[in-house]
Chain A
Amino acid sequence: NAGVTQTPKFRVLKTGQSMTLLCAQDMNHEYMYWYRQDPGMGLRLIHYSVGEGTTAKGEVPDGYNVSRLKKQNFLLGLESAAPSQTSVYFCASSYPFGTGPSGEQYFGPGTRLTVT
């Protein structure tokens, strides 16, 4: 099993450009999440999904969009990148609450995005 994979690993964008980050999991998890990690601030939830075709906003959703067309994939889009979106982005997946290990999430290796 590959677990949670993220594509790409690194990316540099100019302000105003767009891009999509891809997350894939092979553990048949219902729930998936996108976080951003900034120095001293831990991880903050951007958007999440509790099943195929569903998405919901997290703590810092502005400037991002997501889609969950297939259960195993969760896409994070930046329509018009800004320097404030320079960060490391992590995807994670988990079982639904009440099934499997309670609350445990499985993380991908991250994507380092720089917006100039």
Chain B
Amino acid sequence: GNSVTQMEGPVTLSEEAFLTINCTYTATGYPSLFWYVQYPGEGLQLLLKATKADDKGSNKGFEATYRKETTSFHLEKGSVQVSDSAVYFCALSQAAGNKLTFGGGTRVLVKP
């Protein structure tokens, strides 16, 4: 079956530091890939997505590139802010039912 593996947290950074969260997946065929973000006390929000190989998703300064050869979708941001403190989830989706398979989540804490 499908699975998503992402680095465990927590990741603690200083403001303006570079952030990378690794994500790899196992799936048959060509899934769509997503990063969702969960701010404290809230539900998940879509951060960015990519639907085919070599696509780059970007939003709010975050980027991730769909790498089929390495089955990866790593999330990066060049200069984080305190407001980026959240839990980040990597996920994949395939056709049947639009169901999402999530990684375990990575908590990021940005200190001023």
Contact = CB atoms under 8 A, between A and B. Distances in A.
Contacts of B43: 4, 90, 107-110
Interface of A: 4, 31, 33, 40-45, 48, 50, 56, 58, 90, 92, 94-98, 101-105, 107-110
Contacts of A98: 95
Nearest to B105: A42
B97 A56 contact: yes
Contact of B93 (A56, A58, A103, A110): A103
Contacts, number: 66
B34 A104 contact: yes
Interface stretch (B13-21, B45-53, B65-73, B74-82): B45-53
Contacts of B42: 109-110
Contacts of A33: 99-100
A72 to B, nearest CB: 17
B89 interface: yes
Contact of B98 (A4, A44, A96, A109): A96
Nearest to B95: A97
A90 B41 CA distance: 12
A97 B98 contact: yes
A97 B25 CA distance: 20
